[in-house]
Amino acid sequence: MHFAPKHISGLLDSIPHLVWTMGTEGRLEWANAAWSRLVGDSVGADVAASLALHLHPDDRERRSEQWRCAARSCEPYEIEYRVSAPDGALHWHLERGTPARSRSEEPITGWAVISTPIEQRKKTEEELQASLRERDDFLAVLLHELRNPLAPIANALELLERGAGEVAVVKLARATVHRQLRQITRLVDDLLDVSRAVRGRLALNVRPIDLDEVVETAVESARPMIECRNQILTTSKCSSPIHVTADPVRLAQVLTNLLVNASKYTQTGGHISVIVGQDDSAVWMRVRDDGIGIAREMLPQVFQLYTQADPDSRSSGGGLGVGLAVARQLIELHGGTISAHSEGVGRGTELEIRLPRH
């Protein structure tokens, strides 16, 4: 099998791809500089055996088998495998082999082969697969969370049918329906905010406000869940009013999310507190609990979409893992920061919002 003129060989020596030609039995006839640097074998070497020494162990037999099939069929082939570089790092390559013939109807005279680095493509594929798995997991949780309130609502309606004239039954059923509808509304609102955040369409309506009003609104919204779990909620305010320029609705939404999150990951009868204060540069609100805490390795991830501190914990009240992600987006729109602190699992959590004073 004859190869290209010298100027073409020189061009192929300048690229990072492994390029070689081999006879019908798989013996090396020519190789470019990249092949020589990696493999080092000379003309006449068995390509499959030489290359196998530099492949990941899990890929060696697969590559050999695919090559044998191609040699029998005399058809073009493609093989993906991991190559060990001189520094020991593994890199994905895609090998493509094309049979050479003098004329299309004649038997092949050998093979022209190129092995192309595809590390970036594999990385993109892995990221896409991870994103698809994340989406599927999220949809499964979403369906579960939306289905959960339906059973209590159905039970409440059945109670109404059985004892429509009893005041106590009506009050119980009505409270159940209201509580579950609040849960559904919160889920839908979170989903809408995630959609707006992804598209960069979260908007604020800012004005000078008293931070105490935000705390009162958030506590009122979160109180039903906290009381349902028999938890103790305390608030600590400054002696004088704290004013800040912010969107009162969005800020109350963030604080409500923090309180709901604290309740969800705090045991029945646990303690939750809201503390408001200020320093020279910022005003701050802190939500503390004595709940299950957060492992240190999880702290950097709690504000990412679809992340829950401990989704399998019995203390968890479920959720989509989007509340804190939306909270971070909203606080950053205000020019502030939000952070999580925990001494570890079982040692409670503190979430802090900091906003510019002016």
Which pLDDT belongs to residue 314?
43
pLDDT at 308: 60
pLDDT for the residue 121: 92
- Report the pLDDT value the prediction gives residue 3, as an integer from 0 to 100: 53
Q: How far apart are CA 330 and CA 202, in angstroms?
A: 8
Which run of H or E residues covers position 232? strand 232-236
CATH class for the region spanning 6-117: alpha beta
The pLDDT of residue 164: 64
Radius of gyration of the chain (CA): 32
d(CA 154, CA 173): 10
d(CA 229, CA 74): 71
Q: Bridge partners of 235?
A: 274
pLDDT digits (tens, 9 = 90+) for 265-285: 999 999 999 999 998 889 999
Is the overall model pTM greater than 0.75, yes or no? Answer: no
Cα(134)–Cα(3) distance, integer angstroms: 49
pLDDT, one tens digit per residue, over 15-62 is 889 999 999 999 999 999 998 888 887 789 999 999 999 999 999 999
- Per-residue model confidence (pLDDT) at position 310: 53
Residue among 48, 42, 122 at smallest CA distance from 82: 122
Reference 30, options 101, 110, 118; nearest CA is 110
CB atoms within 10 A of CB 56: 14
Closest C-alpha among 287, 295, 237 to residue 263:
287
pLDDT of 171: 85
Fold assignment, 202-358: Heat Shock Protein 90 (3.30.565)
- Closest listed residue to residue 250, CA positions, set 328, 195, 320: 328
Residue located via tokens 């604290």: 262
| The predicted structure's pLDDT at residue 274 | 96
Type and span of the H or E element at 96 = strand 90-100
* Nearest by Cα to 94 from 112, 70, 106, 77: 77
Q: What is the pLDDT of residue 180?
A: 86
What is residue 351's predicted lDDT score, i.e. its pLDDT? 96
Q: How many Cβ atoms sit within 10 Å of the Cβ of residue 85?
A: 12
Same fold? 6-117, 202-358: no
Domain ranges of the chain: 6-117, 202-358
pLDDT along the chain (358 residues), means of 10: 59 88 93 88 88 93 93 94 86 94 84 94 90 79 78 87 78 86 81 78 88 93 90 88 92 93 93 93 94 90 71 50 83 94 93 90
Q: Coil, helix or strand for 288? A: strand
Cα separation, 117 vs 92, in Å, equals 6
Distances, alpha carbon 337 to alpha carbons 197, 280, 283, 332, 342, in Å: 16, 16, 11, 6, 17
Instruction: Give the distance, in angstroms, between the CA of residue 153 and the centroid of all CA atoms in the same chain.
Output: 33
